[in-house]
């Protein structure tokens, strides 16, 4: 898929407790490793034991921070955040971390996910006279912690988890402690590891730990609250839901291929999904090509299982999607050609299996197919390494609305004809779950089946905008 036809994640979070390190600099490089989880804004908050120092701006991590911006962020504990918005628009007021003063001292919070009862919790805060400066549910979380019941931060975090519904991974920074929180369903990943000098790192994905030289210890369990301070890491609460409900899109697309979930890399799970797809939906073809970059592992797996040679057929301009400069009308009409160029030598006269990881709106898959045909492909058989997406996500993924989802509007033959492919097949939900290697651990598959692990209701992305 290409621009405008990808599900987007909300954000990546990071936390570091390391008294003998430049934690702001470590946080910068850790956020760099999590840039794929959000490209709208970035921020770092640092505690020096008395005060919390903050810098956040709109833009990519490398645009927000430089030596001058990092220099004032002195301290021994840090949290960082890189954002894609699902609740609240893309503006500075919604950038994270959020920092407030409270009766227990300064507090900073970074949040990945989406609260399904945010409207109710927001109304309660406003009725109590709490002033809110943003339209983000993450500020609601921050104010709930700052002014909530409890004599200690540990008690406040426990009360918050009783009240909150939906998806949330949190890094919470106080004067002297880093806290990490994962919701009872374990909807999105959160892990921690140790630095060589005894410091500790918490991150959305293990790739961020590896980038800054930390060794992975384990993932936080669903419903777990951990504290990191001078006493080391410790679990202060563990209240899991009856059944885990890990987001399947972490396996399909969101998490970086080198990250580890449940003991295996995402690359291995995606290759396994490609093998499952080849078994379920074989094709008579000459070559297998991916839609780069995220579908590469699945295409490799499809080629391995089918015996059809793997080749590159599309070259991706990896930087066109990283600019904030909008194309003019003439360039906009080029569409996917801004992002992909076909390799005619590989495609001419060939029957092609085109592998993608998902189709959301379907507004770029058709143009990609036309690129292949214009380059000389005589047949195009599309294979998708996830099931049809028929329902929106309400738990931290900006997927699309019902009218926008092509698999909600159309049958499989209609989608095939709309895309202009000779055949079309999706991986079954059972095949996808087998590919994760964690079949008995429980997943959220609401976007495929309409069955969600918690009660959900539709909330416009900018519902809390003034």
What is the pLDDT at residue 422?
98
Burial-class residue 402 by CB neighbours within 10 Å (0-12, 13-18, 19+): exposed
Q: Which of 388, 383, 387 is nearest to 369 (CA)?
A: 383
What is the pLDDT at residue 363?
87
Q: How far is CA 197 from CA 71, 75, 80, 358, 464, in A?
A: 22, 16, 20, 42, 44
Active site residue 191: no
The one catalytic residue in 11, 169, 191, 247 is 11
pLDDT tens, position by position, 385-430:
999 999 998 887 777 789 999 999 999 999 999 999 999 999 999 9
Cα–Cα distance, 266 to 268 (Å, whole number): 5
Cα–Cα distance, 150 to 247 (Å, whole number): 31
Cα–Cα distance, 211 to 193 (Å, whole number): 12
Q: Which of 369, 365, 368, 415 is nearest to 390 (CA)?
A: 415
Q: Is the Cβ–Cβ distance between 249 and 448 less than 8 Å?
A: no
Cα–Cα distance, 201 to 315 (Å, whole number): 36
**Beta pairing class for 340-342 and 260-261:** unpaired
* pLDDT tens across the length of the chain (466 residues): 334 566 655 689 999 999 989 999 999 999 999 999 998 999 999 999 999 999 999 999 999 999 999 999 999 999 999 987 555 455 788 999 999 999 999 999 999 999 999 999 999 999 998 988 888 899 999 999 999 999 999 999 999 999 999 999 999 999 999 999 999 999 999 999 999 989 999 999 999 999 999 999 999 999 999 999 999 999 999 999 999 999 999 999 999 999 999 999 999 999 999 999 999 999 999 999 999 989 999 999 999 999 999 999 999 987 765 555 556 666 666 778 788 999 999 999 999 999 999 999 998 899 999 999 999 999 999 999 999 999 998 887 777 789 999 999 999 999 999 999 999 999 999 999 999 998 778 999 999 999 999 887 655 545 444 4
Q: Is the Cβ–Cβ distance between 222 and 240 less than 8 Å?
A: yes
Q: What is the pTM of this model?
A: 0.91
What is the pLDDT at residue 337?
78
């Amino acid at each position: 898929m290409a621009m405008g036809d990808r599900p987007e994640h909300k954000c990546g979070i990071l936390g570091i407790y390391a008294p003998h390190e430049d934690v702001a600099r470590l946080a910068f490089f850790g956020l760099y490793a999590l840039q794929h989880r959000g490209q709208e804004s970035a921020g770092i908050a640092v505690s020096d034991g008395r005060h919390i120092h903050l810098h956040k701006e709109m833009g990519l991590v490398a645009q927000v921070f430089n030596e001058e911006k990092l220099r004032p962020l002195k301290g021994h504990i840090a949290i960082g955040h890189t954002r894609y918005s699902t609740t609240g628009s893309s503006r500075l007021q919604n950038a994270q971390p959020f920092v407030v003063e409270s009766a227990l001292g300064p507090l900073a919070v970074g949040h990945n996910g989406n609260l399904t009862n945010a409207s109710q919790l927001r109304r309660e805060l406003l009725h109590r006279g709490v002033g809110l400066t943003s339209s983000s549910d993450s500020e609601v979380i921050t104010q709930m912690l700052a002014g909530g019941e409890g004599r200690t931060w540990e008690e406040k975090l426990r009360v918050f988890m009783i009240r909150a519904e939906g998806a949330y991974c949190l890094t919470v920074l106080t004067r002297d402690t880093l806290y990490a929180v994962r919701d009872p369903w374990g909807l999105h990943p959160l892990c921690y590891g140790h630095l060589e000098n005894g410091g500790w790192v918490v991150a959305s994905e293990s790739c961020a730990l590896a980038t800054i030289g930390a060794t992975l210890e384990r993932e936080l369990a669903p419903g777990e609250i951990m504290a990191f301070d001078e006493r080391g890491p410790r679990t202060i609460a563990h209240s899991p839901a009856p059944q885990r409900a890990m987001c399947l899109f972490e396996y399909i697309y969101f998490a970086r291929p080198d990250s580890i979930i449940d003991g295996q890399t995402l690359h291995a799970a995606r290759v396994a999904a490609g093998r499952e797809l080849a078994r379920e939906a074989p094709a008579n073809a000459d070559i297998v090509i991916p839609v780069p970059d995220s579908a590469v592992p699945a295409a490799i797996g499809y080629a391995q299982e089918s015996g059809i040679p793997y080749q590159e057929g599309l070259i991706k301009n990896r930087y066109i999607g990283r600019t904030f400069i909008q194309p003019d009308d003439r360039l906009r009409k080029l569409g996917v050609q801004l992002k992909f160029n076909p390799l005619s030598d590989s495609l001419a006269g060939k029957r092609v299996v085109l592998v993608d990881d998902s189709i959301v709106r379907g507004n770029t898959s058709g143009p990609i197919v036309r690129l292949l045909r214009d380059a000389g492909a005589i047949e195009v058989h599309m294979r998708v390494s996830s099931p049809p997406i028929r329902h929106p996500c309400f738990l931290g993924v900006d997927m699309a609305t019902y009218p926008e989802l092509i698999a909600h509007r159309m049958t499989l033959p209609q989608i095939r004809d709309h895309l202009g492919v000779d055949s079309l097949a999706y991986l079954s939900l059972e095949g996808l779950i087998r590919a994760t290697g964690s079949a008995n651990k429980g997943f959220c598959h609401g976007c495929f089946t309409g069955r969600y692990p918690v009660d959900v209701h539709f909330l416009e992305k900018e519902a809390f905008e003034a």
